[in-house]
Chain A
Amino acid sequence: MRNVCIIAGGQSQWGVRNATQRDMFQEAGKACFDDNPAVTNKDIDGLIVGSAYTERCSFQTHLAPLVAEYLGIKPKNICARVELLCATGSSGIILAYAMIKSGEADVVMVVGGEKLYTPQKWEIGYSELASVDHDWDGAMGLGLPPSVFAAVAIQHMKLYGTTEEQMALVSVKNRRNGMNNVKGQFREEITLATAMEARAIVRPLKLYDCCPVTDGAAAVILAVEEKARYMTDKPLVYIRGTGQATLHNMSANFSNWTTWESLQIAAQQAYRKARIKPQDIDVAQTHDCFTISEIIEYEELGFCQKGEGGFFIQEGHSDFGGRVPVNTDGGLLSCGHPFAATGIRQATEIMRQLRGDAARQVEGARIGLTHNLSGFIAAHTVVIYGRDLE
């Protein structure tokens, strides 16, 4: 099997954009090529495009050939779209990695993005009813459901004593980290008091406990090691291991929402393939769609014991200078969350941290992790990156 490197990454401006989906795919592609001038659109032999709401919000299928044409890429290999809602981006990266590792492709671009804001605001909230099991959970009014994560939080607070203040601290940290990210949706610090006093969305989740709706796109390029050596003058960053697991697509038959078994399985797979332990991770980007999510992710990724996620944030272990800085570029809470772009944004930040050229650097980072969640806590995707192969 061949070794696979991530050799470039970039994103469009994220936020409420005066731009179409295809505008932002072009911006992300350009940002990615600009990150590494040694690789051009003529070098790409495969293209994987991610978008969850392309039909719903942009009335567009057959998206990958469209993006290829706009970016001047002429794929002689895979040119297809992938979709796993909020974990679309990481899924595209895993597929590109598998193709390169197995010898089916040499240089693959993975680009993902969403145009979610339509001229009338009701459309996005309504389209969300397609994101869960439409005929059952959708008809119950569950879209991209803050209610589900509120229930998760209520159960976690009851079982483990996690507090609203601990959840708010996740938001305060990620907003502070996001101030370094010039392309993120928010670049404003918030205080603990602001987070605690914000209006309720669905208690105990308040405004700053929830990630926003975001337009945006992001892109990375993966290459086989032999070619990567000629395609970048920056330190090589390898993909060391991947894992994905899926359980419980819908709300029925699932009574304890605080244990994310599919994340445990995905994380164990990725750690085993990378031949590392959770304590070896120097920096991580995890899926902070809601503050409670990041707290449970510390636990299931093995950064702390089950039930101690609240203390982990409170004691600063996930901040710069702590045991494992998490969401160093601001995460979903600050950068925003254009579904298919999020996993790619996470990969770009980890690549930069391991190359040593991040906007705010974790000194000496050599092993990094990304975690993408999708659906009703259903599917979890973990990718481990490293400067070294062993």
Chain B
Amino acid sequence: MNSVLEGKYAVTMDMYPLQSKDFNRIYPFYDNLKQGRLTTTRCLRCAKVAFPPRVVCPDCLSDTLEWVDLPTRGKVLVVTEEEVGVPLGFETPLIHALIDLDGSLTLFARVINCKMGDLQEGDQVKLVIFSVDPLPVEGKKGAVILQERVFFAFEKAYPQE
């Protein structure tokens, strides 16, 4: 490679969000995620719980919000298994499910640790958190600081768990 970009990190090519306090006002979501909690923002004025979390209430436009926990287990409504043409960074089959999180929210989310045909409508799934590529941030005097990052998916849960 003779690219001037060799060895350089380009945020425009990063598939994961910027998560730290330096770059994102909803950083508590990711801090909570690291502790196994799926959280979002609730409006202190009108009580609207919105997902994804945000800095302004989409109903009453208040900017006074608090963090609340969402259920981490849900029921599968629909399963899809993508066999061809998945984006770089994901493996085939790329499995997604429409998940009902205990009646509070539906999500179309990735399901990992799962083989083709393993997941069925009606199954229970639970939150799973994993590390993703750390974010290289320029520090003083050319130093590069790596900020740890995480993301989430779901995996099949069994009744005894």
Residues of A within 8 A of B (CB): 122, 125-126, 128-129, 133-143, 146-148, 150-151, 154-155, 199-203, 250-255, 257
Contact = CB atoms under 8 A, between A and B. Distances in A.
Contact of B86 (A125, A136, A148, A253): A125
B17 to A, nearest CB: 4
A319 B37 CA distance: 53
B109 A140 contact: yes
Given A147-B80, A199-B84, A135 B17 contact: yes
A136 B107 CA distance: 10
Interface residues of B, number: 32
A255 B106 contact: yes
Contacts of A141: 86-87, 89-90, 94, 96, 110
B78 interface: yes
Given A251-B107, A255-B77, A200 B87 contact: no
A134 B85 contact: no
B108 A125 contact: no
B130 to A, nearest CB: 11
29 contacts: A125-B87, A126-B89, A129-B15, A137-B108, A139-B15, A140-B109, A140-B153, A141-B90, A141-B94, A143-B87, A147-B82, A147-B96, A150-B80, A151-B80, A151-B96, A151-B98, A200-B83, A200-B84, A201-B82, A201-B83, A201-B84, A202-B81, A202-B82, A203-B83, A251-B109, A252-B52, A252-B105, A252-B107, A253-B105
Nearest to B13: A126
B110 A140 contact: yes
B51 interface: yes
Nearest to B24: A135
B67 interface: no
Most central of A129, A138, A140, A201 by chain B CB within 10 Å = A140
B108 A148 contact: yes
A202 B83 contact: yes
Contact of B78 (A125, A154, A252, A253): A154
A150 B88 CA distance: 20
B84 A139 contact: no
B9 interface: no
Contacts of B77: 255
A252 B51 contact: yes
Contacts of A140: 96, 108-110, 153
Nearest to B132: A139
B83 A126 contact: no
Contacts of A257: 98
Contact of B100 (A125, A128, A200, A255): A255
B88 A155 contact: no
B42 to A, nearest CB: 14
B15 A138 contact: yes
Interface in B134-161: 151, 153
Contacts of B83: 199-203
Most central of B81, B82, B94, B109 by chain A CB within 10 Å = B82
Nearest to A123: B88
A134 B87 CA distance: 13
Given A139-B151, A143-B87, A252-B106, 6 more contacts: A135-B17, A139-B15, A148-B108, A150-B82, A151-B96, A257-B98
B124 to A, nearest CB: 17
Contact of A134 (B17, B109, B151): B17
A142 B51 contact: no
Contacts of A154: 78-80
Contacts of A252: 51-52, 105-108
Given A147-B96, A202-B82, A125 B52 contact: no
7 smallest CB-CB distances across A and B, nearest first, come from A251-B108, A135-B17, A202-B82, A141-B90, A147-B80, A255-B106, A150-B80
A358 to B, nearest CB: 33
Contacts of B79: 154
Contacts of A251: 98, 106-109
Interface string B36-70: 00000000000000011000000000000000000
Contacts of A128: 87
Nearest to B52: A136
Interface string B116-141: 00000000000000000000000000
A148 B15 CA distance: 19
A254 B98 CA distance: 9
A375 to B, nearest CB: 13
A126 B107 contact: no
A203 B81 contact: yes
A365 to B, nearest CB: 37
B108 A151 contact: yes
